[in-house]
Structure 1
């Protein structure tokens, strides 16, 4: 009751008061940051600099003022883009960040810088626009099979971001001299050197805003559903136009300043809080709110930098601040308790020949290990079958890394089955629940608190981070009505926060954070016999322990009511499953990094192979996970010879298209 009364008190505050308060806060931050310099230099410095040898005046006019204008302009554009996406998709979680536009724009820019640099001189904006639009279409394609529910769009956007990040990482490793500063730029820095970027961005944003205003009446009529068709509206064309405008505004901003995370989500939410109800008022107030939010954040960061010398990219900080907002928004969505359909209830009975299938998969894993050890590339780059008399020299280099990759894949495959059956959602995975991000944060803490520590300390740090995320999720779950989606919502938001925090630390340029970046790529090149034996032992222990959860996982997938009627204690069962999955994920993440779709793909592949019961699916997912990681490690070793590419990043690069193919095949079967 006290909590409800506080919420009621907040809602009684007039909507306009929130906007005025934000404007005053932005003004106060700007005056605090720029006021002293302006008082010393005089008001004329706003309009120009007469003496170019006056460094403070030059810096103020050509750097600090353009930065202020860029923050206001970029924030407004992202706010309007977010409002358009939410209006068209009718999804309060839609934004340029959550539907993949920003990640796609960054990937397109990286690809163009490496392979088609001439296009940047022709039109950098078209490159980012094309990349963002393709990523958005890919997200919609994946979310289509789930009816564009808020959760499906958010999860598809998360997967698009992971895949784009993996591709950019591969390109940065292969072409470091081209993309050395891409990670810092990708953090969303608003630092300016003159007025040209602002002048270039202004007409583009203005054009997008004009087109958005022209869509106001059709967007208003779209809310009539069937009535809109009766009025003769071409609904598909209107939605496509609105999405194109949102993608264009986002692409222009990314081209100018990089990724500014979650402003497109926060601004429409703030506009709704101020009382905006119509599309016109939402667009207007979202634009104003976005401009004020980004300006306030950037001015506060400049104050922090001048006082402490710590530089943080504005985009990384806005993402870090926006993640808690995402958590608030998703927790307000209506809870949906899972009830298994009749197809789900009878599906486990249709498993065919699981023993032979699992045996075949295990045999494929052994063959893959043998191939990875025996087949390599010679000095001239040709593929060679290594003779047996050379194995004594080759085994220490090839077998440990193969065992590490395969064992990590087994752990992630098992973790994916546990999480998907627990949530009754095939889109769930360790990456989605934020457990991988928690492990990364734990390793980051070890880097700063105990630099130079050994492997066991890093395992402890990763496990502690993963379990901490699990503990937070569990605490949130206990305060939430039982819902199959609530755990996913919380995990996505928490993972987004931790990822943004780690990105902000990496973008700061700290050498310890750069070591973390190298580890995050998921390389197995440093594996030795000790680490291989340890990880293989853990994988074997997990395989022996997993069957103990078979009955619990079967009943949890059938729904809460079925599990309770069978005498299963839901909280205790969820606790055990989550702890087991968290530990498996932490160990695997430490070995191959957080960038991997294995925990998501392996259970899907097992189902496609006909392994539908819980125990056969666990065995099949473990085998598929090990096979995928062995293949990824081998390709990373030979594809860019003599250089090596990380196994974890290669797994994501391979797994992205495979995952989309699985989704489309599932859609084709159910159509």
Structure 2
């Protein structure tokens, strides 16, 4: 039964959006001079041209994009039976974005037929990767969503690196990546209208097959339905719709996730009702947000890309929807507790890892790549460059060691092998703390930036820990909550960078991650903190042995559980913030290093923590070396290489988790 708010709230939203748009239009042009876009531009004043070919098509295109994203999200959620599925969380939008950035910067001839086919290829490849990973676990909602968000993070990292490497395209790409809806003609409206008609027709044909599929895969097969063909057709239509949106205006997040949720909240229950109501909810929602931004800009506030602002609600909504997964996938389906055999001589392996880290640091210190190829730096050049390289290598290794140790400690405390600063949103919190300090203080010192970054990381961990304890979340859902926090942080940072503030450019460079700007004092301080953190962790190794056994055992043995957990969480946040402020919010080292240590059979707390520390230093040194040499003579972002190393490892971990 459709509830009364299903009619009342959309009407209120439509009236509110119309009023806000009218305020913006009146600020641009008096009502007496408003014109329809039937007259030629030569007969209009500049203000009337802006109204007829700018503001008016912008309002219509906001409605069209909202409807298209709402339809795409509803299709994805229906075919996957996953309330968290949408073009953003499944990585489709980021895949389309990466394809368009690559075509714009590297292969412009690919855009001869327009951006649509390029975006469709990128979004389709991203969807194929996510579905291949999800099929290994029977398309379990949590696994599919995690895989999609990882694909999106990898694609976004590569897009950011390519954007940073092309300074002459930097401003336009940053604004486009933020999802700007600004228009200068009605051509975009015409194109997206055709896409909406095709999408609506395809969805109408898929209603009955999706109703059968909603009964479950086994039941649908028993009724004679072609389950695979239905899934492929529905996902292909959803990818097509969302890719066309990305090709037209860039990345617009949240709407595909929110619109179906709002439709269900207001009373839509059946597949047909959701497919009909979600586009309407998405259209009104995006028009309301865009009209609010236009009205604020009319009063002198900076005009932000609409897509960047809508993404701010993505993370909180994703977290709010997580409890619904309890009734969809059992916790045991999310676990992967298989452990390798315990190493007979763990400290020997730790010593070998330490020697490998030192050996690679020395190799990267003197190894170089020049115009004539690879070689060893020597002579006068060595006297000039070796001290600079030594500082950068020390900072990178110390940052990697801190991130890896933080990840190892969090995994032991939370009894969750997927916990790490990067995937729990801690590095995102550190980035927000860094940005807040940068914008609040007129001339922030390195110490102030370090404190702000550490405070943001610590606050994120405390909030996540409290939420997880209250909601009794399974490990995979806790990971998903952390990824949601990271998505929220990324959206806020994208809005800041798209604002055009001069301070945003320094933030953009820091987000890419680089150890080359670190001073000798900063590198020494970071190294001292890494050594001190390792010593403290080894002294407390007994606690790390007891905590995974559960609260009852820990309290029975006299361990002050609440105090210990809070101390570890705060220490991990401080370490993550300190590492991030000097080398940027690098990705996945804190997750990958403990996993490698565990795969080597180092299961007891002390060797596990020490090995993770050594592996973190080794992996970050490797990332720094690759960033310096891969594109000689230019340095690439350190964060990109860390992501490229870490994301495939996590994909391998997901591929190994087969559906029982």
TM-score w.r.t. length of structure 1:
0.91
Tell me what 1:538 maps to: 529
Say whether 1:599 aligns with 2:580: no
Judge conservation of contact 1:415–1:581 (CA < 8 Å) in 2.
Answer: yes
Tell me what 2:609 maps to: 618
C-alpha displacement of 1:601? 1.4
Tell me what 1:654 maps to: 645
> Residue 113 of structure 2 is aligned with which of 116, 122, 135?
122
Aligned equivalents of 2:478 and 2:392: distance in 1?
34
Tell me what 2:447 maps to: 456
Tell me what 2:306 maps to: 314
Pair 376,499 (structure 1): closer, same or farther in 2 beyond 3 Å: same
Pair 377,485 (structure 1): closer, same or farther in 2 beyond 3 Å: closer
Judge conservation of contact 1:368–1:630 (CA < 8 Å) in 2.
Answer: yes
Say whether 1:418 aligns with 2:388: no
Pair 504,638 (structure 1): closer, same or farther in 2 beyond 3 Å: same
Alignment of structure 1 residues 235-246 onto 2, 5 Å:
235-246=227-238
Tell me what 2:180 maps to: 189
Alignment of structure 1 residues 542-553 onto 2, 5 Å:
542-553=533-544
Aligned equivalents of 1:631 and 1:342: distance in 2?
31
Pair 51,394 (structure 1): closer, same or farther in 2 beyond 3 Å: closer
Tell me what 2:574 maps to: 583
Say whether 1:74 aligns with 2:65: yes
Map Cα deviations across residues 526-559 of structure 1 (whole Å, 9 max, x no partner). 1232111111101101111112443443444445
Judge conservation of contact 2:340–2:600 (CA < 8 Å) in 1.
Answer: no
Aligned equivalents of 1:341 and 1:102: distance in 2?
26
C-alpha displacement of 1:478? 5.4
Pair 12,271 (structure 1): closer, same or farther in 2 beyond 3 Å: closer
Larger displacement relative to structure 2 (655-664 or 432-441): 655-664
SS at match of 2:183: coil
Aligned equivalents of 2:224 and 2:335: distance in 1?
40
Pair 32,536 (structure 1): closer, same or farther in 2 beyond 3 Å: same
Aligned equivalents of 2:651 and 2:470: distance in 1?
35
Aligned equivalents of 1:49 and 1:339: distance in 2?
65
SS at match of 1:215: helix
> Residue 492 of structure 1 is aligned with which of 483, 491, 511?
483
C-alpha displacement of 1:441? 1.2
Tell me what 1:4 maps to: none
Aligned equivalents of 1:261 and 1:21: distance in 2?
23
Aligned equivalents of 1:601 and 1:263: distance in 2?
32
Judge conservation of contact 1:49–1:58 (CA < 8 Å) in 2.
Answer: no
Say whether 1:368 aligns with 2:326: no
> Residue 423 of structure 2 is aligned with which of 432, 435, 441?
432
Runs of 5+ consecutive residues of structure 2 not aligned to the other structure: none
Map Cα deviations across residues 186-213 of structure 1 (whole Å, 9 max, x no partner). 0000000111111122212321221111
C-alpha displacement of 1:562? 5.3
Aligned equivalents of 1:343 and 1:333: distance in 2?
18
Map Cα deviations across residues 483-528 of structure 1 (whole Å, 9 max, x no partner). 5456445433333222211210111111111111111111111123
Aligned equivalents of 1:339 and 1:399: distance in 2?
47
> Residue 112 of structure 1 is aligned with which of 103, 109, 115?
103
Tell me what 1:152 maps to: 143
SS at match of 1:25: helix
Tell me what 2:9 maps to: 18
SS at match of 1:45: coil
> Residue 409 of structure 1 is aligned with which of 390, 397, 400?
400
Alignment of structure 1 residues 194-213 onto 2, 5 Å:
194-213=185-204
C-alpha displacement of 1:277? 0.8
Aligned equivalents of 2:119 and 2:42: distance in 1?
38
Aligned equivalents of 2:282 and 2:472: distance in 1?
33
SS at match of 2:326: coil
Judge conservation of contact 2:462–2:569 (CA < 8 Å) in 1.
Answer: no
Aligned equivalents of 1:38 and 1:340: distance in 2?
59
Tell me what 2:502 maps to: 511
Tell me what 1:354 maps to: 346
The alignment yields a C-alpha RMSD, in angstroms, of: 2.8
C-alpha displacement of 1:347? 4.0
Aligned equivalents of 2:191 and 2:335: distance in 1?
58
C-alpha displacement of 1:53? 4.3
C-alpha displacement of 1:602? 1.3
Map Cα deviations across residues 311-369 of structure 1 (whole Å, 9 max, x no partner). 1110011011333222221245439997899994x948633432222111111101111
Say whether 1:251 aligns with 2:243: yes
Judge conservation of contact 2:418–2:479 (CA < 8 Å) in 1.
Answer: no
Pair 198,269 (structure 1): closer, same or farther in 2 beyond 3 Å: same
> Residue 476 of structure 1 is aligned with which of 462, 467, 471?
467
Say whether 1:283 aligns with 2:275: yes
Pair 170,340 (structure 1): closer, same or farther in 2 beyond 3 Å: closer
Aligned equivalents of 1:564 and 1:576: distance in 2?
16
Q: In the comparison of the two structures, how many residue pairs are matched?
A: 657
C-alpha displacement of 1:606? 1.7
Larger displacement relative to structure 2 (381-390 or 356-365): 381-390
C-alpha displacement of 1:30? 3.0
Judge conservation of contact 2:627–2:638 (CA < 8 Å) in 1.
Answer: yes
